[in-house]
Structure 1
């Protein structure tokens, strides 16, 4: 995150700064873990200890996905848990089966997926605390609310942000002013 922060401080227009909120306290993180009943991965702890989400003026950091606050994470988690108990879409039980990358559960949503980034349209990047065989504890799963495929985006939060930082530093990624996001050129 610090590499992305450094790049944005040098290249993002001032109206998009500051990017990050104050860090979450250990007490706030522990309370969120208690509320949802899932212990966070150390990478998520580290991210929240750096920032408790993005500011309202902040650009999206991963395509259209922006960082969520702890309160937003807990709210989204509870909503998804209610909508898809046991990973099933109860409103449409005959919907096409879910397909998934190796290591990712083929379900609508899973109670051990912790949303930490969102695009404002009901889609989330989630930290996977219960991967299947071939997966990584802490891998990043992309949850699209209207797609029947669950994809692994990265092995970890650290890997995902390193990829974005590398892309910014090499020019593969850029800050898109029109869409207020970091995206591939």
Structure 2
């Protein structure tokens, strides 16, 4: 994780210094333990290693392909919104249309958001996958549609692919889109 962040930070310094400046300092062990207590889960080691380098970002622009990288505090805040909706019965009888390896819940309290696009959509760590899934896989969570896609087998795989995409030009900074986005979208 250290090497991936070193590469990404060097890229940000050259291509989007404000994005680099938006990264928060590391999360403390106490902050991570409190987040795990609040969520009632043990977070995957690769994601914890990431938080120990940067506890998300601050600022309005999006770091991960049109989505903000959430701090421990914001992970809990976003998760709590979904949990309250679930507890209030808003999703009663609702199912999603997941790819293989993802349960067909509309939302699960064991889907831990680590990004947010400002409109209710997330990338989540799936800590309750379907039988053919992988614990800790990264999945999409769209608030208006039932599509649930597997993005990566785990956080490190997701982040490694994202960093590779930045380094090889698949992602670029766009002021119009407010952060790093797929280069095809701005071509």
Alpha-carbon distance, 1:38 to partner: 0.9
Counterpart of 1:158 (choices 136, 156, 159) is 156
Alignment partner, residue 10 of structure 1: 14
The structure-2 alpha-carbon separation of the partners of 1:8 and 1:44, relative to structure 1 and needing over 3 Å to count, comes to: same
Alignment partner, residue 26 of structure 2: 23
Distance 2:18 2:127 in 1: 36
Distance 1:73 1:184 in 2: 24
Check whether the contact 2:122–2:140 (CA below 8 A) recurs between aligned residues. Answer: yes
Alignment partner, residue 172 of structure 1: 170
Check whether the contact 2:91–2:106 (CA below 8 A) recurs between aligned residues. Answer: no
1:97-145 Cα offsets, whole Å, 9 max, x none, are: 4110111111111111111111111111111111112211111111111
Give me the TM-score of the superposition, normalised by structure 1.
0.88
Alignment partner, residue 84 of structure 2: 82
Check whether the contact 1:43–1:138 (CA below 8 A) recurs between aligned residues. Answer: no
Unpaired runs of 5+ residues, structure 1, are none
Unpaired runs of 5+ residues, structure 2, are none
Distance 1:81 1:155 in 2: 24
Alpha-carbon distance, 1:182 to partner: 1.6
The structure-2 alpha-carbon separation of the partners of 1:109 and 1:162, relative to structure 1 and needing over 3 Å to count, comes to: same
Q: Which runs of 4+ in 1 moved over 6 A?
A: none
Distance 1:43 1:50 in 2: 11
Check whether the contact 1:140–1:155 (CA below 8 A) recurs between aligned residues. Answer: yes
